[in-house]
Chains A and B, each alone.
Chain A
Amino acid sequence: ELKVEQNPLFLSMQEGKNYTIYCNYSTTSDRLYWYRQDPGKSLESLFVLLSNGAVKQEGRLMASLDTKARLSTLHITAAVHDLSATYFCAVVGGSNYKLTFGKGTLLTVNP
């Protein structure tokens, strides 16, 4: 059974600081997704990483994928309050439809 672990689960940051969220998964996969969820809202797709070494950047967020290490990172640069949300990674397992989500990382950016 595919397991997806994120850490940290809770992250409190100051504005302007950098930090990284980690996503480890237990079985081979070459597709990983990052989603953002604001409180009481739906999940919004941020990145799709489709191959080993893939790197995607949007604004202050950069995601990367190392399929050999079964690890993805979401790096936050110079955080701002608007980035406060819960971030989920999700991995496609053996079946191409089954997206298994991590528990999420609740990010709070403080002024």
Chain B
Amino acid sequence: DAGVIQSPRHEVTEMGQEVTLRCKPISGHNSLFWYRQTMMRGLELLIYFNNNVPIDDSGMPEDRFSAKMPNASFSTLKIQPSEPRDSAVYFCASTPGAGASGANVLTFGAGSRLTVL
């Protein structure tokens, strides 16, 4: 299995530009998470999907952030317009079943490092 696949690995953009991050979860995994990691705030859950449906988006910082999961094998996280404070590493993770229930372990992708100038 190729694991959770994220793209791009690195993105450098200017303030005000639109950024789209992509994630392909492990085949057969029903739950998908987007996390953001910064030095100041650590790892924060942005949004959780189960069976392609957003269950909890309370961690999305503001309206500039949006996430979609059009099918079981693809999700996007979009920032429009981007700001320097959005600079972070964005991780996608997936699990089989419902969230972190039972012994489900979140498997993380390699992350997308975003720098907004």
* A interface, CB within 8 angstroms of B: 31, 33, 41-45, 48, 50, 88, 90, 92, 95-104
Interface size class of B (residues with CB under 8 A): 20 to 34
Task: Return B5 CB to nearest CB of chain A, in Å.
Answer: 11
25 example contacts (A-B, Cβ-Cβ < 8 A) are as follows A33-B100, A33-B106, A41-B110, A42-B109, A42-B110, A43-B91, A43-B108, A45-B106, A48-B103, A48-B105, A50-B103, A96-B98, A97-B31, A97-B48, A97-B50, A97-B56, A97-B98, A97-B100, A98-B99, A99-B45, A99-B100, A99-B106, A100-B45, A103-B42, A104-B42
* B interface, CB within 8 angstroms of A: 31, 33, 42-43, 45, 48, 50, 55-56, 91, 93, 98-101, 103, 105-111
Task: Return B76 CB to nearest CB of chain A, in Å.
Answer: 19
Chain A residues with Cβ under 8 A from B109's Cβ? 42
Task: Return B1 CB to nearest CB of chain A, in Å.
Answer: 14
Report the bound CA distance from A88 to B108 in whole Å.
Answer: 13
Instruction: Give the contacting residue for B111; candidates A42, A97, A101; CB below 8 A.
Output: A42
Instruction: Give the contacting residue for B107; candidates A45, A97, A101, A102; CB below 8 A.
Output: A45
Contact B105 A97 (CB under 8 A): no
7 residue pairs, one from A and one from B, having the closest CB atoms: A97-B99, A101-B43, A96-B101, A43-B108, A42-B108, A45-B105, A92-B100
